[in-house]
Amino acid sequence: MELSIIVPTYNEAPNVAELVRRVTAETAGIDAEIIFVDDSTDATPDVVREVAASAALPVRLIHRERRTGGLGGAVMAGLAAAEADACLVMDGDLQHPPEEIGAIHDRFLRGDVDVVVASRYAGDGTSAGLADRTRVLVSKTATALTRAMFPIRLRGVSDPMTGFFLIDRRAVDAEALRPRGFKILLEVLARQNLRVAEVPFDFAGRHAGESKASMRQGMHFLTQLTALRFGKMSLFAVIGGLGAIVNVAIVWALTQLGVNYIVAAIVASELTIVGNFLLQERFVFQDMKGEASGVWSRFVKSFTFNNTELLIRIPIVALMVSGGHISAVIATAITLFVAFIVRFVFHSLVVYAPRRAGAASRGRLLVDELDAQAMSPGEL
């Protein structure tokens, strides 16, 4: 097999037949296959099976009941199942024109690159298929932000956000990836040193169906970008910082309403502890929840630890101020920094510890996981 074409789909039933027809025409003379990795809730799997029965080239379906890792996870599943080492990834909505497959494959066959990126912003490529000027502005802003945050790894890559690319899967270290969003190419390029070439293409309008872009996807992207650039510990710190701001705001609001400041401080602390836990679940440790204990168990561990830490930290601050003659601000800053490190370690090693680690290797696995999560920037 020369080429495996991986098409992650989510409710793209109206586009399947046309996609297969155009891919078949473009890959004449190439020993190719199409792999649909489907997360749909509509009739897309049935349509794929129906089209596959009469297709002129092999069409395979992987229908995932659990959409682990989102679109990025779907692409990784396709790479694992592919017959060919040359794997071309494209969307199922025909905004990535199949007529460009030949040019992308030809560029790869020169043998001097690991990835060929189909770019909207290189040469005479265009992003005309974006719905409106707002989408164009958002796309270009996100691309500029991404390239600014990874100036070395993305040097010479004009469109790291594209979902249309060909990659030599032998060059991909799957163990180093943490697919959690829809920008899998960014994940690959940010975590690994790969040789990249670009081919311009015209981003087309959707053939049928509705765009999956949303505010939620935008938040996923920002989370993914932050985790890639700075690692899990930075996301943990950002959430902790937001919690501190909210804590102060709650204390101010309650005291303005006449609530005793001690009561206000307790209420604010408990609310921010709960809020921080929910945000950490959603944005920091999302990829670790599947192997950890249940959500209520995680909450009890986190809630108990944070309250215990609070009860221990306050007397230490008082002792540093009264016995060590350190200013309250400096004492608070020192204890907050130490508490941040301890909280991160506790959550990584205890709250989100894998349930099924063997007794003999459990400690080693947990330490390795902590190291990987805390020190995993996309660029060193």
Give me the mean pLDDT over the 199-210 stretch: 68
Q: How far apart are CA 234 and CA 211, in angstroms?
A: 31
Residue 349 CB: number of other CB atoms within 10 A? 15
Q: Give the model's pLDDT for residue 325.
A: 73
Q: How far apart are CA 70 and CA 99, in angstroms?
A: 27
Q: What are phi and psi of 196, to 5 degrees?
A: -125, 140
| Stated pTM of the model | 0.60
Higher pLDDT, 324 or 296: 296
**Is 210 a residue whose pLDDT tops 60?**
no
Residue 100 CB: number of other CB atoms within 10 A? 20
Contact between 229 and 186 (Cβ < 8 Å): no
**Is 283 a residue whose pLDDT tops 90?**
no
363-367 contacts, C-beta under 8 A, 24 or more apart? none
Q: How far apart are CA 6 and CA 250, in angstroms?
A: 49
Q: Give the model's pLDDT for residue 48.
A: 95
**Is 168 a residue whose pLDDT tops 90?**
yes
All domains in the chain, ordered by first residue: 3-227 (3.90.550.10), 231-374 (no CATH)
pLDDT digits (tens, 9 = 90+) for 46-100: 999 999 999 999 999 999 987 777 788 889 899 999 999 999 999 888 889 999 9
Contact between 134 and 146 (Cβ < 8 Å): no
Residues of the chain with pLDDT > 90, as a percent, come to 29
**Is 359 a residue whose pLDDT tops 60?**
no
pLDDT digits (tens, 9 = 90+) for 304-349: 988 888 888 778 877 887 777 777 667 767 777 788 778 877 887 7
Contact between 69 and 35 (Cβ < 8 Å): no
| Rg over CA atoms, the chain | 25
Q: How far apart are CA 22 and CA 20, in angstroms?
A: 6
Q: How far apart are CA 169 and CA 84, in angstroms?
A: 9
